[in-house]
Structure 1
Amino acid sequence: MRTGVPLQLTQRIQYLAYDPGVRPREGGLPGLEVLKKVMGSINLFGIVAVVGALAISALVWAWGHHSGGHQAEQNGKKGVTVAAGCALLLGAANGIVAFFSSMGTQVH
């Protein structure tokens, strides 16, 4: 009586394993070069903003240290750490995406 249940499960698994054949392809849509330039400009804007955030955080850290403001000192340290992490991620964005994209192509 329950022979239909495993068959439905098997069909669902086969459906999930179906390869639709979609692959990233350069030149498929117009405007790809413009989009790349826009993303590069946004990345550069982010890096410039991080430089400002890092400088301000370092100033707050120094001011807090020399004035005895422990709260300001801790916030400055936190800001420097966050800015450094953002700079790392912005600089490594292409590599991170390329790494996970290539890992994704290996999933079967």
Structure 2
Amino acid sequence: MIDIDPNSSGLPGIEQLRVIVGAVMTVGLILSVLALIVSAIVWAYGANSSNPHLAGRGKVGLLISCGAAVVCGASVALVNFFWGVGQQV
């Protein structure tokens, strides 16, 4: 039987990599907020100018930006969940 666990001290630079990943998650969340604001503006402009295509694109952008924020925020929990599932196989 082989028993291998993640080793957080096995390679140099692991702590710096964690800092970089955290910074990238922060940038992803900030960009999701920016996309949400831009999509809301596009939706409002499309609705105000009687352009259903533009309003629809704004709605889709709003949903995509919310989905991106969910994925950025839940990425650690998702990886931990699937790591646990993989350990049970």
**Residue 92 in structure 1 maps to residue 74 in structure 2:** yes
Identity over aligned pairs, percent: 36
Distance in 2 (alpha carbons) for counterparts of 1:23 and 1:91? 25
Match of 1:27 in 2: 9
Could you list the structure 1 runs, at least 4 aligned residues long, displaced by more than 2 angstroms after superposition: 19-23
Larger Rg: 1
Match of 2:23 in 1: 41
Q: How far off is 1:88 after superposition?
A: 0.5
Match of 1:57 in 2: 39
Q: How far off is 1:26 after superposition?
A: 1.7
SS for the counterpart of 1:29 is: coil
SS for the counterpart of 2:59 is: helix
The answer for unaligned runs of 5 or more in structure 2 is none
Q: How far off is 1:20 after superposition?
A: 4.9
The answer for unaligned runs of 5 or more in structure 1 is 1-18
Kindly indicate whether structure 1 or structure 2 has the higher relative contact order, using CA contacts under 8 Å at least 6 residues apart: 2
Return the TM-score normalized by structure 2: 0.94
Distance in 1 (alpha carbons) for counterparts of 2:48 and 2:15? 50
Residues paired across the two proteins, number: 89
Q: Residue type matched to 2:31 in 1? A: A
Distance in 1 (alpha carbons) for counterparts of 2:84 and 2:7? 14
- 1:29-61: CA deviation from partner (whole Å, max 9, x where unpaired): 111100000000011011111111000000000
